Structure 1
């Protein structure tokens, strides 16, 4: 495919895969807030056999070239598990996605999206929900607020111009997701402290740390609660057993017992909160490579982490307790316990909570109660496409 001297090529070789990785470093080199991911980790993300997403997804990567030089990239993908979800929850039959997009200019972005849409049409899709890079559990949405500060661990960061380029093609907003900035040094309002103290008097309620000696057990507990707690949320796609195990193994180096809590009610796990030290603080200076000395810096940080910032990527309460006073009480207790340890043991000054669906009233109320403020916004866009004749 070509247009305005732009040629779109499907990625089929190792050399093209390397170009797909490298173009992001070239196009974002002038952005002081872009954090270069480790090339080895990004390569795993896009490699079948290394990422269990490929076990239930059809994926095609594309490169854009102008005068023989790579000037952009995009992924087009169809998650078979997403196709099985109810349409009213955002995914559903006929829904495909694109993501991992990088483009030097608007014409390149439009050519790439056109190629992704054509591929999705050929696969029988009738609708695009994007950008999602690649699983909804990874980096959903386009950054539209918060370009003036660097992203935290496992958060996306995009050229501010992308919003206009995408919307010019007729894409409309399907969902807004946000993250919240939370100063943690000075603690929370007295009301929150009273709620926490009340929970501590409940003999049936226990908030415990994860146990790294039984990491696989606790990871399975957390992901089980997550799949239950989020099953009614917009955009939900269940994680497979392999994805749960893969996520646990990937996160294990940055897991610290004091930063991940499980709430038990009468001995049964019913809620959890996961907090991760912001590894972007150390990798941002590595320029995407562990060589020659990056590995030593990273290993030292992993063993003796000091993190000015942390991120709360996941929190969940079993569906049976949703909208209950106990659910918010457990949330406040876990937040306070983790806050104390993060400040005392890691020197943490602030945290980021998210992402959160902007219409998730329970989480928004919790964020408001502890004094958190929105610091990033991501938009997920929607567009109907006509499927190709089969």
Structure 2
């Protein structure tokens, strides 16, 4: 017997743990963060009716979940009537998958949407896609992981894969400096007026606003991109100052104005796995233990203002970041998704010595 539930957060959070088991590579966001993202407090949603979420129980145990939501900013900008699904996690159970997808489709159709696409957790600028390759490779923070049966469940329900994406990983201990910026060229850039703006807990609000300005300018021509408001950006980055390592993010200014940024954080997934993504009394102990041993980081954003592209700002940032990561004991750095159609970014990533980690696709279905 299966039971479909709507807006039951306890079962929604628990579903992937039951569906996949303890031995998989799945890592959940913190329970409190996930609840906050799905609430009306999230400025992405104009009102509570823009998002709902479903879970399915089989014999009383939650074994699947999905969100159904609207990204009105995306639809307005790109002239679409697209509904989104996200956080699609499901046991290898066709009946459960069909219940979840039909619930999301009915919700989107009632909103007047003509297409349903996902995963979006919750926008294209956050976690996106369904994993289609690399299932045996551990994800970094802000990367999606899902088991190999999810694409098949979607296809059985009429969804088609499109928009291929790749995430990357780079070993710093075996491939430390493939993109070296000569000292002479670095000195010339600094003499021209480029400088590194301090990234500390005291300046994090200013640096994140620099990053948002760079994001909106440097990504404006990318497919699916929607400019991110200050409210949305800071809502997503609310707790970053508590988890950041000030040594590994870099913001470059040109004569006092933001020119480029690479924002990196330690990979929190080992810690989240240890605590089950829940607040516990033992969290301080586990955090100190994790902090002493952490050796993985993830770049969550990297961009250069259009007027400074082609002026070696990116090599300047990456060389500085790589050097400081290695000095801080990091051995591996991951990167969030890059679309296959973004050939320039793919070349730049491969030039930096990164290798593919996961393959992902969006999955869509026309709603009739």
Q: Is the 8 A contact 1:56 1:81 kept in 2?
A: no
Give CA deviations for 1:301-332 in whole Å, capped at 9, x if unaligned: 68x554211111110112344xx421xx2112
Match of 1:325 among 310, 315, 335: 310
Q: Structure 1 residues 56, 177: closer, same or farther in 2, change over 3 A?
A: farther
Alignment partner of 1:368 is 2:350: yes
Structure 1 residue 103 and structure 2 residue 85: aligned? Answer: no
1:95 to partner: Cα distance: 0.8
Cα shift at 1:69: 4.4
- How far did residue 245 of structure 1 move? 2.1
Partner of 1:344: 327
Aligned position for 1:261: 250
Q: 1:360 to 1:305 in 2, by over 3 A?
A: farther
Tell me what 2:213 maps to.
224
Query: Does the aligned pair in 2 maintain the 1:199–1:330 contact within 8 Å?
Result: no
C-alpha separation between the residues in 1 aligned to 2:353 and 2:205? 34
Give, in angstroms, the shift of residue 197 of structure 1. Answer: 4.2
* Structure 1 length-normalised TM: 0.86
SS in structure 2 at match of 1:212? coil
The equivalent of 2:302 in structure 1 is: 315
What is the CA–CA distance in structure 2 between the aligned matches of 1:284 and 1:196, rounded to whole Å? 41
Cα offset, 1:61, TM superposition: 1.1
Give per-residue Cα distances to partners, 1:46-82, cap 9 Å, x unaligned. Answer: 2222x33234670011122445543322110011111
Structure 1 counterpart SS, 2:299:
strand
Counting only pairs closer than 5 Å after superposition, residues 169-208 of structure 1 correspond to structure 2 as 169-185=157-173, 186-189=175-178, 192-194=179-181, 197-202=184-189, 203-204=191-192, 205-208=194-197
- Quote the Cα distance in structure 1 between the aligned partners of 2:53 and 2:26: 22
User: May I ask how many residue pairs the two structures share in their alignment?
Assistant: 363
For 1:94, the equivalent position in structure 2 comes to: 81
Match of 1:8 among 4, 9, 15: 4
The Cα shift of 1:33 comes to 1.5
List gaps (5 residues or longer) in structure 1: 87-91
Matches within 5 A, 1:75-94: 75-86=67-78, 92-94=79-81
* Offset of residue 121 of structure 1: 0.6
1:293 deviates by: 1.1
1:377 aligns with 2:362: no
Q: Cα gap change, 1:380/1:195 in structure 2, threshold over 3 Å: closer, same or farther?
A: farther
Give secondary structure in 1 for the equivalent of 2:227: coil
1:334 aligns with 2:317: yes
Structure-1 residue corresponding to 2:238: 249
**Greater mean deviation of Cα atoms: 196-205 or 171-180:** 196-205
2:40 corresponds in structure 1 to 48
State the partner residue of 1:238. 227
The alignment partner of 2:24 has SS state of: coil
1:89 counterpart residue number: none
Q: 1:213 maps to what in 2? A: 202
